[in-house]
Amino acid sequence: MSAYAVGFARPDRWSGSQPNQQTYPWHAVEAHRSPAELDGEVELAVCGAIVQVWGTQKWERVGIGRTGCPECARITAVDQRLTRAS
Ligand SMILES: [Zn+2]
């Protein structure tokens, strides 16, 4: 079961002490309900970041992109989808 909603870490909520994180604004949030229902909710991402759920995004898409949080991608094992063919 790999149902993940996508959370967006808003730059305006940051204190400025972690500038590196701005490169990866998208995080995975474990979805106990459908991502659409969680839209707009403030949740804890799987990597521990506080994010706001962006219900229209799919983690399967942004998790493998350049702006997806690498830690979240590792935890949710998105990478395995890419190598499953072997
Ligand atoms: Zn993350």
Per the domain annotation, does 84 fall within a domain? no
Q: Are 69 and 28 in contact (CB under 8 A)?
A: yes
Distance, in Å, from the CA atom of 74 to the CA atom of 66, rounded to the nearest integer, reads 13
Q: What is the mean pLDDT of the chain?
A: 81
The pLDDT value given to residue 72: 94
One pLDDT digit (tens) per residue for the chain, 86 residues: 458 999 999 765 555 555 554 578 999 999 988 888 899 999 999 999 999 999 999 998 998 888 999 999 999 985 565 555 54
Per the domain annotation, does 25 fall within a domain? yes
The pLDDT value given to residue 2: 57
> Domain limits at 25?
4-79
Ligand 1 centroid vs 7 CA: distance in angstroms? 9
Ligand 1 centroid vs 82 CA: distance in angstroms? 19
Q: Which of 3, 50, 8 lies closest to 30 in space, CA to CA?
A: 3
Number of folded domains that form the chain = 1
Per the domain annotation, does 85 fall within a domain? no
Ligand 1 centroid vs 48 CA: distance in angstroms? 7
Q: Which of 59, 51, 50 lies closest to 6 in space, CA to CA?
A: 59
